[in-house]
Amino acid sequence: MTALTDRFKQIRTFIFDVDGVFTDGSVNALASGEMYRTFNIRDGYAIEKAIQNGYRVAVVSAGNQDGVRKRLAFLGIKDVFMGGPTDQKVNAYLGYLNRDALNEAEVLYMGDDLPDYAILSRTALLSTCPADAADEIQAVCDYISPKPGGRGAIRDVIEQVLKAQGVWASWL
């Protein structure tokens, strides 16, 4: 049993950034002005399974697009904190922990870029990032997924946690 596996066993709450985590960080701009993102279906499946198994799933993002909100709602994510300044993401994170009296040692956060640094550098939580995260982010993370953002990184961390807790694929 590794120390990382022990940390995975403690997790009850997943918190994710959107751009660069749920997506590959690309923004597709249409002539209409809409900026859409592409989400990975397997990441979505893992989110649904986590929620069905009683885990909390939340999103903290500076972005605030209706299409993204609709996708998150479709996945069943109720705790969505979007639209604040990038340098205030940590305040949304701490507000969520305080509002719901969450134990930070039971939280896994995944971010990919400098706006996530203030959260990911907190030592109590399990800090994670996709394989293609900024170097500064990788330097402070407890776990770096072998998958890039928008290409299975969310599925990877959820799977790691649910497998460590004996829950993954228990429905098969």
Domains of the chain (ranges; CATH) run 4-165 (3.40.50.1000)
Tally of CB atoms within 10 A around 124 = 11
Q: How confident is the model at residue 27 (pLDDT cuts 50, 70, 90)?
A: confident
**Looking at the predicted structure, is the pLDDT value of residue 96 above 70?**
yes
**pLDDT value of residue 57:** 98
Phi-psi region of 49 (alpha: psi -120 to 50; beta: other; left: phi over 0): alpha
**pLDDT value of residue 87:** 79
Q: Which residues are annotated as a binding site for substrate?
A: 19
- What does each C-alpha distance from 12 to 80, 90, 155 come to in angstroms? 17, 19, 15
pTM to 2 decimal places: 0.95
Average pLDDT on 105-119 reads: 97
Q: Which residues are annotated as a binding site for Mg(2+)?
A: 17, 112
HSE, side-chain direction, 13 A CA sphere, residue 75: 27
Q: Which residues are annotated as a binding site?
A: 17, 19, 112
